[in-house]
């Protein structure tokens, strides 16, 4: 991949604030998997602050390849309809945390990689946070995945979901504290290959 040197000053992010709730969540945003798909995995978790208190005003977005490894997505990411001409899988989901800081999505395992990409928006934070959710079992990934293998075990652990059933797993996000989740930066490093 070659990228010409950047020339324009980017527009900086600003906090999402407390009033996005009537604008961004949408019906079906938590159902990335097509209705009734037998391979559906339920992914759930809590969002905590550094005091261990739940964060009730967060917004989580999920992006991932399709089960066949397709990464180009499909139109209909916020209004999925069979008529859209694909199988109902767009690779995108959006979920607001509830009053107890909980969130749940239903999806299909991505093809080719072991993780879901997350973008997190929280009232009060000056910008968004990015992380990854590695689906269990991720033990193999920890030696072959470029990100997991570069992290010490205690930090790596924060990116790996814990099985809670045959088709479900839990992924808690800690904004701060001893279990602080690993947050990622993609904006630097590609510009000077």
22-61 residues in contact with other proteins (CB under 8 A) are 22-24, 49-51, 53, 55, 61
Long-range contacts: 68-77, Cβ < 8 Å, 24+? 68/111, 69/110, 69/111, 69/112, 70/111
Q: Which residues, numbered 122-181, are part of the site for other proteins (CB under 8 A)?
A: 122-130, 146-147, 150-151, 175-176, 180-181
The DSSP bridge partners found for residue 54 are: 48
Q: Which residues, numbered 7-66, are part of the site for Fe ion (CB under 5 A)?
A: 17
* DSSP codes, 38-76: TT-EEEEEEEE-TTS-B-TTEEEEEE---TT---S--S-
Q: Which residues, numbered 59-98, are part of the site for other proteins (CB under 8 A)?
A: 61, 63-65, 71-79, 81, 83-84, 90-92
Minimum distance of Fe ion from residue 19's CB (angstroms):
6
Whole-number Å distance between alpha carbons of 120 and 191: 24
**One of 37, 96, 109, 119 touching other proteins (CB under 8 A):** 119
Which residue's CB is nearer to other proteins, number 8 or number 38? 8
Q: How many CB atoms lie within 10 A of CB 67?
A: 18
126 binds, among other proteins, Fe ion, none (CB under 5 to 8 A by kind): other proteins
Kindly state whether residue 101 participates in binding other proteins, applying the rule CB under 8 A. Answer: no
- Pick from 78, 70, 171: nearest CA to 118: 171
Q: Which residues bind Fe ion (CB under 5 A)?
A: 17
């Amino acid at each position: 991949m070659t990228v010409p040197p950047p020339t324009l000053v980017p527009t900086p992010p600003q906090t999402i604030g407390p009033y996005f709730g009537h604008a961004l969540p949408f019906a079906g945003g938590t159902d990335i998997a097509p209705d009734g798909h037998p391979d559906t995995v339920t992914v759930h978790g809590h969002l905590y602050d550094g005091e261990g208190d739940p964060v009730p005003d967060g917004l989580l977005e999920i992006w991932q390849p399709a089960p066949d490894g397709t990464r180009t997505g499909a139109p209909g990411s916020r209004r999925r309809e069979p008529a859209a001409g694909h199988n109902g899988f767009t690779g995108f989901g959006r979920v607001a945390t509830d009053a107890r800081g909980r969130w749940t999505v239903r999806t299909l395992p991505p093809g080719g990689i072991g993780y879901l990409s997350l973008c997190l928006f929280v009232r009060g934070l000056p910008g968004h946070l990015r992380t990854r959710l590695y689906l269990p079992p991720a033990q193999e990934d920890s030696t072959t995945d470029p990100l997991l293998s570069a992290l010490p075990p205690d930090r790596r652990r924060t990116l790996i979901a814990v099985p809670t059933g045959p088709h479900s797993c839990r992924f808690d996000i800690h904004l701060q504290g001893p279990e602080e989740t690993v947050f990622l930066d993609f904006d630097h490093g590609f510009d000077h290959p």
